[in-house]
């Protein structure tokens, strides 16, 4: 069954909401808590508990819920409330199907260099830094940033937006991995290699690397993920 939220988790966040639109800020907070894993998949988000914890009205909170539901981080069950999304194995498979199609196509059609690889470079460095600190969850974030930067090379607002959503969903699956170091660490070197190949504008090789990267990650994630789900 769904775990119930402890309102104390959010008590410290009240100070954060002194900017732009309240519902947006509430959504930002909840999004961050979900990304960090404080609110794990399957958790029920009670209107009363969270509304009280953050000191916002029900209407405003429900607006924030709607925003996150549209982002597919929450699911709404009629007359039952909202819950942190629980991905199915099919979701994971579909996410990698999309990643393969989009990321590989972007690389394939990059055209003539030079490419602006600054963000990709920064993401790899972020990964090396977090790995050095033993921050394996941060390494997962850096990995997501790297692949986001690759998609950004297409300079398409809609593709960028699509991948923002898809990668946020993917993070939900990452939480199911009980050994994040074992999972994320090997891909840091592969990202570095891909960056080097991109710098050399060897698009054919880059696409090959990317394909095998995604195949491996999907295989690994689906195996471990389905095991974890089976326990629930």
Q: Is 214 in the site for a copy of itself (CB under 8 A)?
A: no
User: Which one of a copy of itself, DNA, none is in contact with 95 (Cβ closer than 5 to 8 A by kind)?
Assistant: a copy of itself
CB 117 within 8 A of CB 196: no
Nearest residue to 228 via CA among 40, 7, 11, 24: 40
Stretch of 21-29, 67-75, 89-97, 136-144 contacting DNA, by CB under 7 A: 21-29
Distance set, CA 30 to CA 13, 21, 24, 179, 193 (Å): 10, 14, 10, 24, 35
- Judged by CB under 8 A, the chain residues 91 through 130 that form the site for a copy of itself are 94-95, 97-98, 101-102, 104-106, 109
Q: Is 18 in the site for a copy of itself (CB under 8 A)?
A: no
Q: Is 222 in the site for a copy of itself (CB under 8 A)?
A: no
Q: Is 226 in the site for DNA (CB under 7 A)?
A: no
Size of the site for DNA (CB under 7 A): 23
Q: Is 61 in the site for a copy of itself (CB under 8 A)?
A: no
Q: Is 21 in the site for a copy of itself (CB under 8 A)?
A: yes
Distance CA(202)–CA(195), nearest Å, equals: 10
CB 61 within 8 A of CB 50: yes
Q: How far is the CB of 21 from DNA (least distance, A)?
A: 4
With a CB cutoff of 8 Å and minimum separation 6, the contacts of 185 are: 131, 136, 139
Stretch of 71-79, 129-137, 154-162, 202-210 contacting DNA, by CB under 7 A: 71-79
Q: How far is the CB of 78 from DNA (least distance, A)?
A: 5
Which residues here bind DNA, judged by CB under 7 A? 1, 21-23, 44, 46-49, 55-60, 62-63, 76, 78-82
């Amino acid at each position: 069954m769904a775990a119930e939220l402890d309102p104390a988790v959010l008590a410290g966040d009240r100070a954060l909401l002194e900017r732009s639109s309240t519902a947006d800020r509430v959504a930002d907070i909840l999004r961050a808590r979900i990304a960090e894993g404080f609110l794990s998949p399957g958790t029920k988000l009670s209107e009363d508990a969270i509304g009280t914890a953050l000191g916002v009205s029900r209407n405003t909170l429900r607006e924030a819920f709607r925003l996150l539901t549209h982002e597919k981080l929450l699911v709404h069950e009629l007359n039952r409330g909202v819950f942190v999304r629980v991905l199915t194995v099919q979701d994971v498979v579909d996410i990698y199907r999309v990643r393969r199609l989009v990321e590989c196509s972007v690389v394939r059609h990059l055209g003539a260099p030079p490419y602006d690889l600054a963000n990709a470079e920064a993401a790899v460095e972020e990964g090396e830094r977090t790995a050095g600190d033993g921050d394996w969850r941060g390494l997962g974030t850096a990995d997501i940033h790297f692949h986001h930067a690759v998609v950004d090379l297409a300079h398409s607002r809609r593709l960028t937006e699509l991948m923002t959503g898809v990668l946020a969903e993917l993070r939900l699956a990452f939480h199911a991995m009980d050994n994040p170091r074992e999972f994320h660490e090997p891909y840091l070197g592969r990202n570095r290699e891909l960056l080097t190949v991109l710098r050399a504008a060897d698009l054919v090789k880059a696409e090959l690397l990317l394909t095998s990267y995604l195949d491996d990650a999907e295989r690994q994630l689906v195996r471990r993920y389905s095991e974890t789900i089976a326990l629930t």
